[in-house]
């Protein structure tokens, strides 16, 4: 048995699976990669998120599709992060790699330090930084996605900025 065409056309809301994949899959993949620091696992998370979209057929409000996808992705990342396996395998060998465009290889060194510093943040700080600065969600939207108070989002953002600043200062000195 395979998925029926109508399921592929409109898994939820007004966007088709293809449209949602084309629009958001790379963002889901990159956010997961930032979180886990491992390409294979980030791809697995992206796969799980879109499989869930296809099989569960959630009723998504128009314009809230991306928020749902990232929420599911972050939940999955958090679960993986907690598991003993990733603590041993990934935390034991941290390393945020770059995948630059061929003509930009020489120019990304200073950009790498910020990306790697974000990757090294603790999960609760990393989540808000990625959603706010990378994905452009508002504090209210993030609070709704992560099921935490807006004040908590704001304070985590503030502390995350502080941590990034301190860490990047350290990088500059080296």
**Sites of contact with another protein (CB under 8 A):** 1-3, 8, 21, 25-26, 28-30, 33-34, 39, 42-43, 46-47, 50-51, 54-56, 75, 79, 82-84, 98-101, 104, 107-108, 110-115, 117-118, 129-130, 133-136, 160-161, 164, 168
* Minimum distance from residue 41 beta carbon to another protein (Å): 13
* Minimum distance from residue 76 beta carbon to another protein (Å): 9
The separation between the first and the last C-alpha atoms of the chain, rounded to the nearest angstrom, is 58
Rounded to the nearest 10°, the torsion over CA 36, 38, 39, 45 is -40
* Minimum distance from residue 151 beta carbon to another protein (Å): 20
* Minimum distance from residue 125 beta carbon to another protein (Å): 11
For residue 142, CA distances in Å to 45, 64, 74, 112, 156 come to 20, 12, 12, 25, 11
Residue closer to another protein (CB basis): 15 or 117 = 117
Residue closer to another protein (CB basis): 139 or 168 = 168
| Of the candidates 153, 109, 148, 111, the residue with the CA atom closest to the CA atom of residue 130 | 153
- Please tell me what DSSP assigns to residue 130: I
Residue closer to another protein (CB basis): 140 or 166 = 166
* Minimum distance from residue 28 beta carbon to another protein (Å): 7
Residue closer to another protein (CB basis): 62 or 106 = 106
- Distance separating alpha carbons of residues 76 and 82, to the nearest angstrom: 10
- Distance separating alpha carbons of residues 79 and 90, to the nearest angstrom: 14
């Amino acid at each position: 048995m395979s998925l029926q065409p109508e399921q592929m056309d409109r898994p939820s809301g007004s966007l088709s699976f293809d449209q949602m994949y084309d629009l958001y899959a790379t963002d889901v993949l990159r956010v997961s990669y930032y979180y886990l620091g491992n390409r294979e696992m980030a791809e697995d998370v992206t796969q799980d998120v879109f499989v869930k979209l296809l099989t569960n057929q959630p009723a998504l409000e128009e314009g809230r599709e991306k928020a749902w996808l990232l929420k599911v992705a972050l939940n999955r990342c958090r679960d993986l992060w907690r598991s003993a396996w990733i603590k041993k395998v990934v935390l034991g060998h941290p390393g945020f790699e770059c995948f630059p465009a061929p003509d930009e290889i020489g120019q990304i060194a200073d950009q790498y330090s910020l990306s790697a510093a974000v990757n090294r943040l603790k999960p609760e700080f990393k989540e808000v930084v990625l959603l706010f600065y990378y994905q452009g969600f508002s504090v209210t939207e993030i609070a709704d996605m992560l099921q935490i108070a807006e004040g908590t989002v704001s304070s985590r953002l503030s502390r995350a900025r502080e941590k990034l600043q301190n860490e990047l200062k350290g990088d500059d000195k080296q």
